[in-house]
């Protein structure tokens, strides 16, 4: 399946679910691209350009550096344009002032915002928790997404928002809604690669689904390698370069 354009992505609303994950190395990026994941998020100094190269079938999203995202709308726009010059398709940021999104969208920069639980706001909300279980919080999330929709953002990640609230918002806006722990009625689903691959050794969130347990497999492989080294099983003959006996004999005669 060829890579979608932004217009193709937007056209999927109400037709089929969008699949999102993230990638921080070339192998994960290649695998996700071959598996026809729609959107891959990544970030870091050179990471976005590298991932875009390795995942030609995926739309690539990357976040704006905080010092640019939070400073001013003008700096946010400049940072977004620099990322797009690197081959990034979608600008993503968490916790950026909401009016900065208006600046990006007004320049026709494809951007995805973030509402609900935002890790950058941990100190304000008391750590990881659902956001929107009270009427006041649900109304605030609803108003934020409606505003982002009016600005012209193409999408929004809704993290740890009650499923009924996420469904209502999805039905009331034109932009795409991506669920991270916000139920099955959003326009797409977002899971971190470490959660679905089973390489997450820290806190496992409720919404995570482990499709493999690669961490344990990695440990087994390294243990086997260590045992082989300690017992002399590795390297075997096929793993070594062997000089012909006559050449080695000549070498010995000269040293």
CATH number, domain of 94, equals 3.20.20.60
> Count of domains in the chain?
2
Q: Give dist(CA 153, CA 252) in Å, integer.
A: 73
Q: Are residues 36 and 147 in the same domain?
A: yes
Q: Are residues 105 and 201 in the same domain?
A: yes
Between 49-53, 99-103, 125-129, 136-140, the lowest mean confidence (pLDDT) is in: 125-129
pLDDT at 86: 87
CB-based contact 42:51 (threshold 8 Å): yes
Please indicate, yes or no, if residue 100 is contained in any of the structural domains. Answer: yes
Q: Are residues 36 and 93 in the same domain?
A: yes
Q: Are residues 32 and 158 in the same domain?
A: yes
Please indicate, yes or no, if residue 132 is contained in any of the structural domains. Answer: yes
* Residues contacting 118, CB < 8 A, separation 6+: 94, 95, 159
Structure tokens at 2: 């060829």
Structure tokens at 254: 């000269």
Please indicate, yes or no, if residue 196 is contained in any of the structural domains. Answer: yes
pLDDT at 121: 81
Please indicate, yes or no, if residue 68 is contained in any of the structural domains. Answer: yes
**How high is the mean pLDDT of the chain?**
93
Q: Are residues 196 and 151 in the same domain?
A: yes
Q: Are residues 144 and 241 in the same domain?
A: no
Q: Look up the domain containing 186 and give its range.
A: 6-212
User: Between residues 94 and 9, which one has the greater pLDDT?
Assistant: 9
Please indicate, yes or no, if residue 102 is contained in any of the structural domains. Answer: yes
For 7-40, what is each residue's pLDDT tens digit?
Answer: 999 999 999 999 999 999 999 999 999 999 999 9
pLDDT at 64: 86
Q: Flag whether pLDDT at 46 surpasses 80.
A: no
Question: How many CA atoms lie within 13 Å of 149's alpha carbon, on the beta-carbon side?
Answer: 16
pLDDT at 202: 77
Name the residue among 195, 220, 158 with its Cα closest to residue 28.
195
- The pLDDT confidence band at residue 137, using thresholds 50, 70 and 90, is very high
Please indicate, yes or no, if residue 1 is contained in any of the structural domains. Answer: no
Q: Give dist(CA 51, CA 88) in Å, integer.
A: 9
Q: Are residues 238 and 124 in the same domain?
A: no
Q: Give dist(CA 11, CA 8) in Å, integer.
A: 5
Instruction: Quote the pTM value.
Output: 0.90
Q: Are residues 138 and 226 in the same domain?
A: no
Between 149-158, 162-171, 200-209, 239-248, the lowest mean confidence (pLDDT) is in: 200-209
pLDDT at 126: 81
Q: Are residues 143 and 229 in the same domain?
A: no
Please indicate, yes or no, if residue 105 is contained in any of the structural domains. Answer: yes
Q: Are residues 195 and 249 in the same domain?
A: no
Please indicate, yes or no, if residue 242 is contained in any of the structural domains. Answer: yes
> What residues are annotated to the active site?
159
- The pLDDT confidence band at residue 119, using thresholds 50, 70 and 90, is confident
Q: Are residues 57 and 143 in the same domain?
A: yes
Q: Give dist(CA 37, CA 147) in Å, integer.
A: 28
Q: Are residues 154 and 241 in the same domain?
A: no
């Amino acid at each position: 399946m060829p890579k979608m354009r932004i217009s193709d992505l937007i056209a999927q609303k109400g037709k089929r679910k969008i699949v999102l994950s993230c990638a921080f190395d070339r192998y994960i990026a290649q695998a996700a691209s071959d598996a026809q994941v729609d959107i891959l998020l990544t970030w870091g100094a050179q990471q976005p350009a590298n991932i875009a190269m390795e995942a030609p079938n995926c739309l690539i999203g990357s976040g704006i550096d905080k010092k640019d995202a939070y400073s001013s709308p003008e700096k946010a726009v400049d940072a977004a344009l620099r990322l797009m010059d690197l081959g990034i398709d979608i600008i993503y940021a968490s916790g950026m002032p909401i009016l900065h999104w208006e600046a990006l969208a007004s320049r026709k920069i494809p951007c995805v915002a973030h509402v609900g639980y935002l890790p950058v706001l941990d100190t304000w909300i008391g750590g990881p928790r659902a956001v929107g279980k009270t009427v006041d919080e649900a109304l605030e999330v609803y108003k934020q997404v409606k505003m982002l929709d009016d600005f012209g953002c193409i999408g929004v990640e809704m993290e740890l928002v009650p499923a009924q609230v996420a469904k209502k918002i999805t039905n009331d806006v034109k932009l795409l809604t991506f669920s991270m722990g916000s139920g099955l009625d959003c326009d797409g689903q977002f899971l971190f690669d470490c959660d679905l691959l089973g390489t997450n050794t820290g806190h496992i969130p409720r919404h995570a689904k482990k499709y493999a347990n690669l961490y344990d497999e990695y440990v087994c492989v390294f243990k086997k390698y260590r045992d082989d080294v300690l017992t002399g099983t590795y390297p075997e003959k096929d793993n070594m370069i062997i000089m012909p006996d006559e050449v080695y004999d000549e070498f010995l005669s000269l040293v």
